[in-house]
Structure 1
């Protein structure tokens, strides 16, 4: 069952990764550096999507983007190794 889901979601994974890479290449160099976290939000998104797939990875990226604001402390915020209690309620 998991292999079938991986095959079905693979095109979506590629599309989301392509959008992030296009942002990193075309838009990010124009904007001032504003990410308060390490790794940057776009790198975090790539890692999350590669690790968890397009749905869970995108959810983690959206959560991260909401945390990345002028009032946050920032700092080191790696992609979690598992997402047990974080977003399993969605699936």
Structure 2
């Protein structure tokens, strides 16, 4: 069950998505968008760690930053703690699932 702070953050992000985001235009280089990522991170991991994850994601979403599929991690990063907030965020790279490659056998016939 989300805390009142998580609910407030969700509605603040939702308000941004329905107002300012439409005026600015969709310019996010990632999927899901930075606001969707931040909302999911806060709902999954709490306001403090999720907020730092979202901030790190927004910082990576620039012209020289990352792009592509970037999912919220299932678990908090190892070594993260409330007194080391920078450890929650991924400041470089993306959190995409590995690409599975399968070898295809040629037909012998």
Q: Could you tell me the TM-score, scaled by structure 2's length? A: 0.69
The structure that is helix-richer by fraction is: 1
Q: Higher relative CO (CA 8 A, sep ≥ 6), structure 1 or 2?
A: 1
Match of 1:45 among 38, 41, 49: 38
Structure 2 alignment gaps of length 5 or more = 85-109
- C-alpha distance in structure 2 between counterparts of 1:87 and 1:29, whole Å: 34
Pairs aligned (count) = 84
Counterparts of residues 1-91 of structure 1 (less than 5 Å): 10-85=3-78, 87-88=80-81, 90=83
Q: Rate the CA distance shift 1:25–1:60 in 2: closer, same or farther, 3 A.
A: same
Q: Could you tell me the TM-score, scaled by structure 1's length? A: 0.81
Superposed CA RMSD:
2.0
CA shift for structure 1 position 89: 5.7
- C-alpha distance in structure 1 between counterparts of 2:20 and 2:82, whole Å: 33
Structure 1 alignment gaps of length 5 or more = 1-5
Contact 2:28/2:61 (CA < 8 Å) preserved in 1? yes
Contact 2:61/2:67 (CA < 8 Å) preserved in 1? yes
